[in-house]
Amino acid sequence: MAEQTKELKLPNHIAIILDGNGRWAKAKGMPRSYGHIVGCDNLEKMCDIMADMGIRYLTVYAFSTENWKRSADEIKVLMDLFRKYLKRCERKAERNHMRVKIIGDTSALEPDIQESIRELEGMSAGYDRMFFQIALNYGGRDEIERAVTRLADDVRAGKIPEGRIRGDVFEQYLDTAGIPDPDLLIRTSGEMRLSNFLLWQLAYTEFYFTDTAWPDFHKPDLMKAIEKYNSRDRRYGNAK
Ligand code: IPE
Ligand code: IPE
Ligand code: MG
């Protein structure tokens, strides 16, 4: 068994829907905000663990375009957490030689958060050991709408020839342009849906669902997901 573990093939790109913070806190008799705080700490730890393992690409779903429907109080807690997290992430970028990119429609975020994003993306732009994408105000349909809008502008401006638009051209307009598609998608906390995450990019990704809530998802849980991924017979996507 130990031999087998040594031979585990690491997914090049792992995407994670960080779910279950609220239910995890509730089960402990705590407010949802506590779940978000612990979930955020766990993201920092897991990001270091994946960097140390040699995972090249990590993309996490932190706030969806639908999450604005939550209570004003919860949205405030989350935005304040992002504020702090984006600052702390600069140290992580240095530690892990990690380029950080925010995907999603950041124009709807508070100006100071947008400024922190510019700073973080700017200071980490030269790193290339790991690539870390954080989906903030992200929705797969919204991303496609924004991409198609810009693509149509470029067709009108004569920058792209009219006629059939191929996938490889379209992809360059997505927020994930230049980033390979995920090999493994993990969703924690029992739900088995995409909730509008990376609709185009997940076409051939392996899915792994676990009942474990995000704040409880640690290295052994990740290893289980990677073992499961290794047992699958991949024919398309990045399989080679
Ligand atoms: C995931 O946890 C974090 C965000 C969506 C921001 P949830 O807040 O969705 O927690 P549950 O799913 O309600 O337990
Ligand atoms: C998906 O989780 C979005 C994030 C993890 C940021 P949700 O908890 O918001 O999704 P639904 O509402 O269960 O579909
Ligand atoms: Mg949820």
> Domain 13-229 classified CATH 3.30.750.24?
no
HEC secondary structure over the chain: CHHHHHCCCCCCEEEEECCCHHHHHHHCCCCHHHHHHHHHHHHHHHHHHHHHHCCCEEEEEEEEHHHHHCCHHHHHHHHHHHHHHHHHHHHHHHHHCEEEEEECCHHHCCHHHHHHHHHHHHHHCCCCCEEEEEEEEECHHHHHHHHHHHHHHHHHCCCCCCCCCCHHHHHCCCCCCCCCCCCEEEECCCCCCCCCCCCCCCCCCEEEECCCCHHHCCHHHHHHHHHHHHHCCCCCCCCC
In angstroms, what is the span from residue 64 Cα to ligand 2's centroid? 7
Domain ranges of the chain: 13-229
In angstroms, what is the span from residue 122 Cα to ligand 2's centroid? 29
Q: Residue 62 CA: which ligand 2 atom is closest? A: 6
The residue among 204, 63, 201, 68 whose CA lies nearest residue 135 is: 63
Question: pLDDT truncated to tens, each residue of the chain (240 aa)?
Answer: 444 556 899 999 999 999 999 999 999 999 999 999 999 999 999 999 999 999 999 999 999 999 999 999 999 999 999 999 999 999 999 999 999 999 999 999 999 999 999 999 999 999 999 999 999 999 999 999 999 999 999 999 999 999 999 999 999 999 999 999 999 999 999 999 999 999 999 999 999 999 999 999 999 999 999 999 999 988 777 764
Report the predicted TM-score, pTM, of the whole model to 2 decimal places: 0.96
Q: Whose CA is nearest to atom 2 of ligand 2?
A: 19
Q: For position 6, what pLDDT does the model report?
A: 62
- For residues 90 and 100, give the distance between their C-alpha atoms in angstroms, rounded to a whole number: 9
Q: Which residue in 12, 67, 230, 238 is the catalytic one?
A: 67
Q: What is the pLDDT of residues 159-172, one digit of tens each?
A: 999 999 999 999 99
Q: Residue 36 CA: which ligand 1 atom is closest? A: 3
Is 67 labeled as catalytic in the residue annotation?
A: yes
Q: Is 146 in the pocket of ligand 1 (CB under 6 A)?
A: no
What Rg value do the Cα atoms of the chain yield, rounded? Answer: 18
Is 73 labeled as catalytic in the residue annotation?
A: no
